[in-house]
Amino acid sequence: MLLEAIYHRPRLNWSYAYDETTIHLRLRAKKGDLTEVFAWAGDKYAWDATKELIPMTLFTSDSMFDYWECESVPLHRRLKYGFLLQKDNERIWMTESEFQTNRPENPNKLFEFPFINRIDVFTPPAWVKDTVFYQIFPERFANGDPSLDPKNVLPWGGTPAPDNFFGGDLQGVIDHLDHLSELGITGIYFTPVFSATTNHKYDTEDYMSIDPHFGDTQTLKKLVDACHERGIRVLLDAVFNHSGRTFAPFVDVLEKGEASRYKDWFHIHRFPLEVIDGIPPYDAFAFEPMMPKLNTENPEVKEYLLKVAEYWIKETGIDGWRLDVANEVDHEFWRDFRKVVKKANPDAYILGEIWHESAPWLEGDKFDAVMNYPFTDAVLDFFVHGSLDAEGFANSIGRQLSRYPLQASEVAFNLLDSHDTPRLLTLAGGDKKKMKLAALFQFTYMGTPCIYYGDEIGMDGGGDPDCRKCMEWDPEKQDRALFDFYRRLIDIRASHPALRTGTITFLEAASHGTKLAYERRLGDDIVIVMVNTDETAQTLRIDASESRWENVLTGDPLRADRGKLTVKLPAYGYTIIKAVI
């Protein structure tokens, strides 16, 4: 066996408390190298009486490695452990310091999980696993109160530009909650709603007031209450990395320069604040002069922003925060942010905007989840762009699962497009068959799926600002068949716990392949999804653990023949089947 590839650390995603009684252990090995793995575990104070070999299962793989996993429920919430590695008849024991051919004589040199302290257990809100989110860009969703319109408002449905307005507001969302309830939505993520000068509101002017073009605090309360009556959670956008140029403390710095008491609220390199060659003399979001970066290490800034986070939870009853440009804010700020938010609402969902691997933010002391853009990229590359084969896709998903503790993956925010990207239908070149395949995986995978407003009725759009078109409310211009497709996906997801929190096993994912089959399993709830991403009909023949099956989409019965299920799929076709036990 290739010992150089074997890896374990007694922390992070390798050894962690899944809940107050359960410890998960993971081990990495070269792909296909080991045939069996066991955790050798017991209580350090009662080793001889408690030691046992716990079989580990191959829970995921990527292009280079296998990842083995087991769980232990130690009687006294602590664990000493090593590993027994087997490759056919070869046996190696792994301790904290070395590999050896003989069983270690005592546990002193083994790994240790000292104790499950309840306060240290990473516990994201359970409701997120069962939620389907819907992202709303308020200025473009619906105009419910024309009296709030900006002076330069344009007729609804015009061409979006970086600086134009169409009058969308919070009352417009309230007026169309029936649409979301009919679809099956149980969570809304709003891009910023606080006072700002732009249509996107990421240049905050006043964190303590709702933008007057959207409504006021009472309107937000009314919206949150109306959502909660329908079982819909509400997530607001917190832009704490930077403010807007019209934010009062920054205005004071612009007016008074070095004499301003707020100069240390920002990262200013020199005075006067003159932009030279497009680069401002202060840190900003990218190099955007109208979005100066806040100094979250400054005690006054920190206190102010934490009060903002607490205020809107207590004042309006929102269910959590999405955090803009979250990875550019210092970790200590987010640790304190979590304490404040969870004290105000222990069940609040804290979601960070990070576009890449995010393990440092998912250790239980900062975020509950991140916007899962690596998931987005993999899904689009396989189902939409065709630049990834089935094996590459399965490896990509496996790699992502290996990076985080299970509870983080269960509440990951899985999106396929947003206000920051071209729309899914446009990415698919207008091909709704490809769009449906991507959505199918999104809704049959763990984590919370999010639909960008309008995708469900066939809206298209390129990159910003084209992806921020006005919502189409004319029924004659809506794709109601696509709406029904999304509604059915949401219903199927709600009906099968395995699709939300079950294990995932790829049954068909070949190199250069365009066929994909995977099983989601949770107890007796066993669901298999099969997909054909090719322009030609294909037949899938996969191993089946049960003999009797049912097509979830049609209700037709299926039977396995000699342990095999055979299903023919049309071009860009799919099916979902469940075991009948």
Q: What is the Cα 458 distance to its own chain's centre?
A: 23
CATH of domain 3-120: 2.60.40.10
Catalytic residue among 139, 283, 319, 324: 324
Q: How far is CA 71 from CA 15, 59, 172, 469, in A?
A: 10, 12, 48, 48
In sign, the C-alpha dihedral spanning 246, 251, 255, 257 is negative
Contact assessment for residue 173 and residue 136, using Cβ atoms and an 8 Å cutoff: yes
CATH superfamily, domain 499-579, is Golgi alpha-mannosidase II (2.60.40.1180)
Residue 37 DSSP SS3: strand
For residue 338, give the amino acid letter: R
The average confidence (pLDDT) of the chain is: 97
Helix, strand, coil percentages for the chain (3-state, nearest 5): 30, 25, 40
Residue 353 has a pLDDT of 98
CATH of domain 135-232: 3.30.750
Examine the residue annotation and report whether 353 is marked as an active-site residue of this protein.
yes
Token pair listed for 128: 């997120």
Residue 419 has a pLDDT of 98
Q: Is the pLDDT of residue 349 over 90?
A: yes
Query: Average of pLDDT values for 118-138?
Result: 98
Q: What is the Cα 75 distance to its own chain's centre?
A: 33
Q: Rounded to 5 degrees, what are φ and ψ at 531?
A: -140, 140
Residue 39 has a pLDDT of 98
Examine the residue annotation and report whether 36 is marked as an active-site residue of this protein.
no
Residue 529 bridge partners (DSSP) = 518, 576
Q: How far is CA 30 from CA 3, 67, 100, in A?
A: 8, 9, 18
Q: What is the C-alpha separation between 98 and 94, in angstroms, rounded?
A: 6
Q: Percent of the chain at pLDDT above 70?
A: 100
pLDDT tens-digit series, residues 243-302 = 999 999 999 999 999 999 999 999 999 999 999 999 999 999 999 999 999 999 999 999
Q: Is the pLDDT of residue 564 over 90?
A: yes
Domain range annotation of the chain: 3-120, 135-232, 242-293, 499-579
Contacts with 229 (C-beta within 8 Å, 6 or more apart), sequence order? none
Residue 512 has a pLDDT of 96
Contact assessment for residue 436 and residue 399, using Cβ atoms and an 8 Å cutoff: no
Residue 545 has a pLDDT of 86
Q: Percent of the chain at pLDDT above 90?
A: 99
Catalytic residue among 353, 368, 410, 456: 353
- Is the fold of 135-232 the same as that of 499-579? no
Encode burial over 344-366: b for 16+ CB neighbours within 10 A, e otherwise: ebeebbbbbbbeeebeebbbbeb
| H or E element, residue 272 | none
Residue 563 DSSP SS3: coil
Residue 363 has a pLDDT of 95
Q: Is the pLDDT of residue 105 over 90?
A: no
First to last CA, the chain: 40
pLDDT tens-digit series, residues 359-404 = 999 999 999 999 999 999 999 999 999 999 999 999 999 999 999 9
CATH of domain 242-293: 3.90.400.10
Q: How far is CA 370 from CA 14, 188, 310, 361, in A?
A: 19, 16, 20, 8
Q: How far is CA 554 from CA 124, 480, 551, 568, in A?
A: 36, 20, 6, 15
pLDDT tens-digit series, residues 487-534 = 999 999 999 999 999 999 999 999 999 999 999 999 999 999 999 999
Residue 575 has a pLDDT of 98
If you write DSSP's letter for every residue of 508-543 in order, what string do you get?
Answer: EE-TT--EEEEEEEETTEEEEEEEE-SSS-EEEEEE
Q: What is the C-alpha separation between 364 and 338, in angstroms, rounded?
A: 9
Q: Give alpha helix (H) positions in 14-143.
A: 47-50
Q: Rounded to 5 degrees, what are φ and ψ at 20?
A: -75, -10
pLDDT tens-digit series, residues 160-218 = 999 999 999 999 999 999 999 999 999 999 999 999 999 999 999 999 999 999 999 99
Residue closest to 496 by CA, chosen among 537, 469, 456, 524: 524
Contacts with 379 (C-beta within 8 Å, 6 or more apart), sequence order? 393, 416, 438, 441, 442
Residue 215 has a pLDDT of 98
Strand ranges across the sheet with 15-17: 15-17, 23-30, 65-72, 57-61
Classify residue 237 by its DSSP letter: E
If you write DSSP's letter for every residue of 431-498 in order, what string do you get?
Answer: -HHHHHHHHHHHHTSSSEEEEETTGGGT----STTGGGPPP---GGGS-HHHHHHHHHHHHHHHH-HH
Number of residues that make up the chain: 581
- Could you identify the residue written with the tokens 């920002």? 266
pLDDT tens-digit series, residues 38-65 = 999 999 999 999 999 999 999 999 999 9
Residue 106 has a pLDDT of 85
Contact assessment for residue 463 and residue 485, using Cβ atoms and an 8 Å cutoff: no
